[in-house]
Amino acid sequence: MITPAAIITVASSAALVILGLALILTVWRVVDGPTLPDRILALDMLTGIAIGFIAVIAIKTGFFLYIDIAISLGLVGFLATVAFARFVLSRGNIKSPASASPAKAAAKRRHAGGKKR
């Protein structure tokens, strides 16, 4: 008969293998990401994977203080993601549609008192 301890051992080992594979694929996305937002998303995913590792280790070892560390890492990871998103927005990569740009520029010139060419 299978004991609950054996189930936890097998499940935690399988979870560590799956998290390890996810970690390798995510690191590949950080290194090979075609754009900066892709890399930021991969770094956020790395935080989630690290939280998963900490939670599985907490269950495997029975030392549940690790859960508090995982929660703290989640909060710091969220703040880092928000900071990276603000950085991307401040770079000015977000452009308005091409059809709306000339109309807005002409409206600004008229409002500022500039002459239309």
Q: Identify whether 115 is part of a domain.
A: no
For 17-66, the pLDDT digits (tens) are 999 999 999 999 999 989 888 999 999 999 999 999 999 999 999 999 99
Total structural domains within the chain: 1
Distance from C-alpha of 43 to C-alpha of 31, rounded to nearest angstrom: 10
CATH code assigned at 11: 1.10.287
Q: Compare 90 and 20 and report the one with higher pLDDT.
A: 20
Q: Identify whether 116 is part of a domain.
A: no
Q: What mean pLDDT is predicted for residues 73-99?
A: 81
Q: Identify whether 13 is part of a domain.
A: yes
Q: Per-residue confidence at 1, pLDDT binned at 50, 70, 90?
A: confident
Print the domain residue range for 20.
4-95
Helical (H) or strand (E) element with 48: helix 36-61
What pTM did the predictor assign? Answer: 0.73
Q: Identify whether 117 is part of a domain.
A: no
SS3 (DSSP) at 95:
coil
Q: Identify whether 106 is part of a domain.
A: no
Helical (H) or strand (E) element with 7: helix 4-32
Q: Compare 68 and 102 and report the one with higher pLDDT.
A: 68
